[in-house]
Structure 1
Amino acid sequence: MPFDHNDHYHRSLLRTVPPGARRALDVGCGTGRFARALARRGLEVDAVDRDEAVLAAARGSAAPAAVHYRQSDLTELQLPPGHYDFISCLASLHHLPLDSLARLREALAPGGVLVVLGCYRETTPGDRLISLAAVPVNALCRLAVHLRERGAPPPAVRAPIAMPQTSLPDIRAYATRHLPGFRLRRLLFWRYLLVYRRPR
């Protein structure tokens, strides 16, 4: 049943794009759906993923000319300092070293926003309670999408999956040291949202 947890949050994430933003970086762009949403809002988007199969699917979509797909591992990519007005990581940070956050911070222009829709390793009773609450809601959402999209072909390609190894307290502790003024909140569907704005 094609209910995508990341896609579910796209609308909320788009609200974090700062006014007047012109350049964006989408890290771990997968099949490019969020990158295309950014481009439709008038941003020039560098969409990066290390998996060629999902990038081939992204390039095969009806993408705006403002999306530039690139196969690369972020750990090997040279990011221009102070270049991007908006940087997004959707379910991709747990595929990377946590220190990638500091590199992305440096690539933000003054006033730019970094947003992470991340996955985390459950370690606390609160984590497990939210996870338990998500199960019936997830089942209902999957059923609703299934009924709405009956007959539609399933996605030909899906992005690679990895189990997160970093806990939410560890992510919070790292952000406290490296992303002053960040906001972090736990979401339903086994995700958290981290938002950081670089000072002007």
Structure 2
Amino acid sequence: MPFNHNDHYHRTLLRLLPDGCRTALDVGCGTGRFARRLAALGIEVDAVDPAAEAIEAAVAEGGGPRFHHADITRMELPEGRYDYVSCLASIHHVPFGTVAALRDALAPGGVLAILGCYPERSAVDYAWSLAAVPVNAAARVAVAARESRQRPESTQAPVKPPEMSLEEIRREADVLLPGATVRRLLFWRYLLVYRKA
């Protein structure tokens, strides 16, 4: 697949970096593409993924982040350590309550940015999916030539289908991340943003 839905939103996620961001945690980093983009900005990045093969590929690629083969639900995260915490299509691999530990790991003024996936359940979900199909097809065609000239990425992180509906995510976020915003995006994604006071 020449068009990567998560990579498409990298710029959106980078615009959410708080001013003066020095430290970041990338949860479910896979082979490290987004973590490397953060590190390229001079940010000290810890990148975590439970898939050993993804971390091995990330370490082989290099690029500055500290890559950790670990399960985020079992890690003891330092409280108030990170200015920015990102989760790209990874939060649905763990209990949603994990966001409480990520929230607590944020420094004052820090930002938690979740690019998440949700299953289609409502008429609105299906309408957005229908709208995404032609855009998705056009994007794939537009990038196919460029991608075919690049070295293909052979390692892929494990994929799990999402289970929580967008409404369930909003309800849980209201409890665990008061003041967070959740908005629907194209390409079967949502963006949750929480700023720590």
Q: Say whether the fold is shared (TM-score over 0.5).
A: yes
SS at structure 2 position matched to 1:26: strand
Matched-pair identity in %? 56
After superposition, residues 9-158 of structure 1 pair within 5 angstroms as 9-64=9-64, 67-158=65-156
Kindly indicate whether the alpha-carbon contact (under 8 Å) linking 2:177 and 2:194 is maintained by their aligned counterparts in 1: yes
Cα offsets for 1:100-135 (capped at 9, x unmatched): 011111111111000000001211111110011111
- Counterparts of 1:79 and 1:71, CA distance in 2: 14
- Tell me the amino acid that sits aligned with residue 101 of structure 1: V
Give, in angstroms, the shift of residue 163 of structure 1: 0.4
Give, in angstroms, the shift of residue 60 of structure 1: 1.2
So what's the TM-score if we normalise by structure 2? 0.97
Kindly indicate whether the alpha-carbon contact (under 8 Å) linking 1:27 and 1:48 is maintained by their aligned counterparts in 2: yes
The number of residue pairs the alignment matches comes to: 197
The 10-residue stretch of structure 1 (55-64 or 166-175) with the greater mean CA deviation from structure 2: 55-64
Cα offsets for 1:41-95 (capped at 9, x unmatched): 111000000001111111111412xx10000001110101111110000000000
- Tell me the amino acid that sits aligned with residue 150 of structure 2: A
Kindly indicate whether the alpha-carbon contact (under 8 Å) linking 2:97 and 2:176 is maintained by their aligned counterparts in 1: no
Give, in angstroms, the shift of residue 148 of structure 1: 2.3
Unaligned runs of 5+ in 2: none
Cα offsets for 1:141-174 (capped at 9, x unmatched): 1111112233434211111111000000000001
- Counterparts of 1:169 and 1:118, CA distance in 2: 13
Kindly indicate whether the alpha-carbon contact (under 8 Å) linking 2:23 and 2:45 is maintained by their aligned counterparts in 1: yes
SS at structure 1 position matched to 2:128: helix
After superposition, residues 175-186 of structure 1 pair within 5 angstroms as 175-186=173-184
In structure 2, relative to structure 1, the CA distance for the partners of 1:143 and 1:69 (3 Å cut) is: same
The 10-residue stretch of structure 1 (161-170 or 54-63) with the greater mean CA deviation from structure 2: 54-63
The 10-residue stretch of structure 1 (178-187 or 83-92) with the greater mean CA deviation from structure 2: 178-187
Q: Where does structure 1 differ by over 4 angstroms across 4 or more consecutive aligned residues?
A: none
So what's the TM-score if we normalise by structure 1? 0.96
- Counterparts of 1:13 and 1:28, CA distance in 2: 15
